Structure 1
Amino acid sequence: MNFKKILANVVIVTVTAALFSGCTASKKSTASEQSNGTSSNLPKVVNIGTQQMPNDEKIAITKDYFEKELGVKVKITEFQAGDIRNALVSKDIDFALLGSASATQGIASGIDIETIWIHEVLGDAEQLVVKKNSNINSIQDLKGKKVATPFTTTTHYSLLKALAINGMSEKDVKLLDMQMPDIYAAWQRGDIDAAYAWEPTLSNLLEDGRSIISSKDMASKGFATYNVEVVRREFADKYPDLVTKYVKAVNKAVNLYDENQADAIKMLSVSLKITPQEALKETKGSMWLSAKQQLDPAYFGTSDKKGNLVKSLKDTADFLYKQKKIKTEPSLTTFEKAVNPSFIEKAVK
């Protein structure tokens, strides 16, 4: 009997130890997976804030690349330019598509975000347009005129720079803060004389308008602008794998555009409810970069040596500060910290 009791106790201790060991191993595994943002501790939903633009993100949305890559439910919410930063601050979204001027203001104002992708290097996709029958033929002719654009956006930055290099300031025009749908409505009513707009609104304005200057022109003068993707740093720190997978999804869309343009344009046409011809025209107004191209010193650079995007954002911030759009003059370090090429580096491995 004593032998049986001893044997039984040995079995109990052995089983208990095995269960405890398995539980401990499981906890260690879970902790490790959580720190890596892997599948054991993924969020139920990833929230992506976007805007109505003919770019790689729109293709990725239409093709369901995000859910396929991220492996979780993805909620896409479309915003107007000004509202999307507010959604970041309130943590209603994890990712956001912003113009470089808007991203700059957000970073300089203390929104804890990282820039992880360039959707487009902007060119003819953004232009300052006037009516065909107007007497406005130059920037100087805008004096005293009503000019509309969404404030703290790439078009706003380009407009203010265009005024500045022509010896003018925003005080020389009647500058109106309007979102794209409102700009088009005001244009049709004849309430504005000019508008600095992006696609697809731009094409609507050009039906009875003509261009005075484009963001391609401004880039040639040293004032390049971009549409970029930012992510909340808190989210990126917790789920770095998901951020890398976001990059993989948009890079997949860029590759589709490069390798099968007809299919990519079809996706944009369906998503934006425009003809394939219009979609193609709109995409030609900007330059798309693959993940490998984005690691060039002209753009992100690498984690070891960051590229010109840092300086471009800092230059934009300096200008916005002088225009009193930013309260505190930001340091270069602020933007070095906010530009993160590591997710692109991981995506191309």
Structure 2
Amino acid sequence: MKKFKFNTIYFLLIAFLLVLNACSNQSGDSKEPKSNTETSDTVVFNIGYQSIPNVEILTKSLGLIEEKLKEMNVEVKWHHFDTGIDVNMAVAAGSIDAGLVGTPMAASGISQDLSYKVVWIYDVLGDNEALVVKENSGIKSLEDLEGKDIAVTFGSTPHYMLLNALKLNNIDENSVTLLDMQPQDIFAAWEGDLIDGGYVWQPVLGNMANRGGNVILTSGDLANDGLITAEVCVVNTDFIEKHPDIVEKYIEAFHNGVEFFRSSPEEAYQIVADELEISVEDASETMDQLIWLNAKEQASEKYLGGDMADVLKDTADFLVNQKSITSAPDLEAFKKAIDPQFVNAIAQ
């Protein structure tokens, strides 16, 4: 009798645990999204952005993307990133559908077969990225960098430009101590007198220059020597195939952002300054240093309609030489990774 009672209690306990586990699993499943970009009725569009005073921030602040997509049952979610490396990792992980990267990171991503396409150019870089050094560092030119500590974000456009600048001036990069830091860490190291200089972008660049810094080289200077860098928009290939109408509206919003800046620059300066919590003077200085391109200009042979593939290929080859990536595909792979259909449609 005791054995019967024991078995009965045992089996009732097992049954209770099984039911409890089933309820727990059902509760957990209900919290999981059906996919990275879709719910039952709404398409979730995950966008990665960076705090750069360009058309991406202006368009975000104006709410132009949400306005374009409001009739399409799309939920826009913004995700902040500090660098293009982080954006590439997020795209690879499937946590975002689109984002901003510099041309070095785009070249790296394409070389590593990340599933995305380049669909828009946020800006062509000019004097908004620069090498700034301490006034008391004794650095007056690139030749004076030997033995100095220079901070830069590895894999970024400043990193690419700095290494090219050293090469163009026949300076051994190993003679300079290059420190891999994020922009906010570069500024902290600058404030703590831990570095002699840094190649960085705005607004950190302006903050460093205003706190005892001298600019000795800009990306605009290097552009005059034929070295072009840009910040581009990459979109997950699968998302483009599933939602080309959403992507076209997304790109059209940036086109409208460029036109807004051209027609109302003073208002645009204030909007970006408020968004990034910087002065209007710093915002206007950076925005004026960039080359802003509308859809028609980007569809030309000089950019997405042709030459951008060569820029990315050259950049990838450089990254291979620097051992940042192991190999680079042929030019055809970069041509395939550029999708000008949206700028073409908007231009027409």
Q: Give the structure-2-normalised TM-score.
A: 0.85
Matched, 1:311 2:304: no
Is 2:218 the counterpart of 1:219? no
Q: Which amino acid is the alignment partner of residue 167 of structure 2?
A: A
1:266-277 aligned at under 5 Å gives the runs 266-277=270-281
Question: Paired residues, what number?
Answer: 306
Aligned partner of 1:17 in structure 2 is none
| Amino acid aligned to 2:343 | I
Within a 5 Å distance, the mapping from 1:228-307 to structure 2 comes to 228-301=232-305, 307=306
1:329: how far off? 2.7
What are the residue-to-residue correspondences of 1:100-249 with 2, within 5 Å? 100-207=103-210, 208-249=212-253
Task: Give the Cα–Cα distance (whole angstroms) in 1 for the partners of residues 226 and 333 of structure 2.
Answer: 22
- How far apart, in 2, do the equivalents of 1:42 and 1:162 lie? 51
Residues 8-87 of structure 1 mapped to structure 2, 5 A cutoff: 43-71=42-70, 72-81=74-83, 82-87=85-90
Matches of 1:104 and 1:169 in 2, distance apart? 24
Give the letter aligned to residue 269 of structure 1.
A
1:184 deviates by 0.2
Q: Is the 8 A contact 1:115 1:340 kept in 2?
A: yes
Structure 1 stretches of at least 4 aligned residues deviating more than 2 Å after TM superposition:
39-44
With over 3 angstroms needed to count, the CA separation of the structure-2 counterparts of 1:111 and 1:40, relative to structure 1, is closer
How much is the aligned-residue C-alpha RMSD, in angstroms?
A: 1.6
1:194–1:246 Cα change, 3 Å: same
Q: Output the amino acid matched with 2:136.
A: N
Alpha-carbon distance in structure 2 between the residues aligned to 1:140 and 1:334: 37
Per-residue CA deviation, residues 263-284 of structure 1 (Å, 9 max, x unaligned), is: 2112101101122222111111
On the 8 A contact 2:299/2:347 being kept in 1, the answer is: no
Determine the structure 1 residue equivalent to 2:12: none
Counterpart for residue 333 of structure 2:
334
Structure 2: stretches of 5+ with no match in the other structure: 1-37
How far residue 231 of structure 1 moved from its aligned partner, in angstroms, is: 0.4
Point out the more displaced range, 310-319 or 323-332: 323-332
State the 1:43 CA deviation.
4.8
- Alignment partners' CA distance in 1, 2:248 and 2:102: 21
Distance in 1, matches of 2:141 and 2:273, equals 34
CA contact (8 A) 2:296 2:346 kept: no
Q: Which amino acid aligns with 1:186?
A: A
Structure-2 residue corresponding to 1:95: 98
Contact 1:42 1:239 in 2 (8 A): no
Gaps of 5+ in 1: 1-38, 302-306
Shift of 1:42: 7.4
Residue 68 of structure 1: CA displacement? 1.1
Q: Deviations over 1:199-247 (max 9, x none)?
A: 1100001111111110011111111100110001111111111111111
Q: What CA distance in whole angstroms lies between the structure 1 residues aligned with 2:103 and 2:44? A: 26
Which sits farther off after the overlay, 62-71 or 84-93? 62-71
Deviations 1:19-66 (A, max 9, x none): xxxxxxxxxxxxxxxxxxxx9997531000010100111111111111
Query: How far, CA to CA, are the matches of 2:218 and 2:92 in structure 1?
Result: 31
Distance between the aligned counterparts of 2:312 and 2:206, measured in 1?
28
Question: What CA distance in whole angstroms lies between the structure 1 residues aligned with 2:202 and 2:287?
Answer: 9
Shift in Å, 1:134: 2.0
SS at match of 1:73: strand
Taking the aligned partners of 1:63 and 1:167, their CA distance within structure 2 comes to 46
Q: What secondary structure is seen at the aligned counterpart in 1 of 2:162?
A: helix
- Distance (Å, rounded) in 2 between the aligned partners of 1:205 and 1:40: 45
How has the CA–CA distance of structure 1 residues 220 and 43 changed in structure 2, closer, same or farther, with 3 Å as cutoff? farther
- Partner Cα distance (1:199, 1:236) in 2: 31
Q: Tell me how far 1:347 sits from its aligned partner.
A: 2.1
